[in-house]
Amino acid sequence: MNESNDIPLIDAIDHDILMHRDAHFGGQFSIMLDYYRRHGKGVNPEFSLSRIEDLAAFELNTHQNLAAICLEAAEIEKVAEARQAYKDLSGIYEVKNAKSIIPQLVADLILTEEAEAEGEVAALAIHKEAAVPALINLLREEKWHDPLFPGYGLVPELAAKCLGLIGDKRAIISLFEAIGQGDFFDDEEILRALKQIGAPAKAFLLKVVKGKPYNEDNERAAIALVAFRDDADVGAACVPLLKDQQVQQDPVLFSYLVLACEGMKERSLQAEFTELAEKASLPRDLREDMQRIIKSWL
């Protein structure tokens, strides 16, 4: 970065603001500020409006482009990739595809400024199985998880919503692999989609959660099984796992298995769960988690 005293102190968030501006708003602070004042869908909560205004005022007063001065080569390259993604999506509308309207509908889903995108989601879900490969690609491609790219990082959540409505079991593995890649709200939609797919998803998750050696896949499966917590098969699988000493040494896996037992109705399994909660060898916070579940059964 240029060390001139005329340049305001730039930190990592400022770099992100400049990249965000150049990727989504054509390098114009005026357009970005208008969008942020209107609370558009792609507003980044980490960017304060006052800081954007400060940076915009500096550029206006000095006639200097902060991005040109401050951004590193890798950051400039990433912005270029994001802008190219916008161009690629625009190009989809220019090509008449007589065989399929799905590419255009996918572009609509990515570019929509509607937070819930109900119309765009419904338009894709109507095509059912034919739309599944394209939606799976949206889950798998890293760029759609990135707020710098079209869709502001919200594309996987919308893709999961579509896949849940369609209910095709081909999406199970991709949905599973997407757990934990975004924020909590992404995971909520992914879990809902797996629940909507139903029995095939449940069978897959039960197989994975029991797999050894225990790793992140077990944790992902336990997280997803929380959506199936009212299912008798889930409690029957989770209670024996909670008794495993290896599981008890993994507080993340243990906690999600506990949550997956919340809807358990079988008295015998509830009794086993209660007995385990009373074991002195369990850490206090884990016992407290279990006690909360026990109270919910009363």
pLDDT at 279: 82
**Predicted local distance difference test score (pLDDT) of residue 95:** 79
The three-state DSSP-derived secondary structure of 270-291 is HHHHHHHHCCCCCCHHHHHHHH
Distance between CA atoms of residues 102 and 191, nearest Å: 25
| CATH number of the structural domain 199-297 | 1.25.10
pLDDT at 281: 84
Rounded Cα distance between 82 and 110, Å, is 13
Which pLDDT score, from 0 to 100, does residue 274 have?
95
Query: What pLDDT does residue 5 have?
Result: 47
Dihedrals phi, psi of 283, to nearest 5 degrees = -60, 150
Q: What is the pLDDT of residues 113-135, one digit of tens each?
A: 999 999 999 999 999 999 999 99
pLDDT of residue 97: 66
Task: Give the start-to-end residue ranges of the domains of the chain.
Answer: 12-71, 79-197, 199-297
Q: What is the pLDDT of residue 187?
A: 87
At residue 2, the pLDDT reads 42
Please identify every stretch of the chain with a pLDDT value under 50, giving residue numbers as ranges. Answer: 1-5
Instruction: Give residues with Cβ within 8 angstroms of 251, minimum separation 6.
Output: 283, 285, 286
What is residue 183's predicted lDDT score, i.e. its pLDDT?
60
pLDDT attached to residue 7: 66
CA 83 – CA 90 distance, rounded (Å) = 11
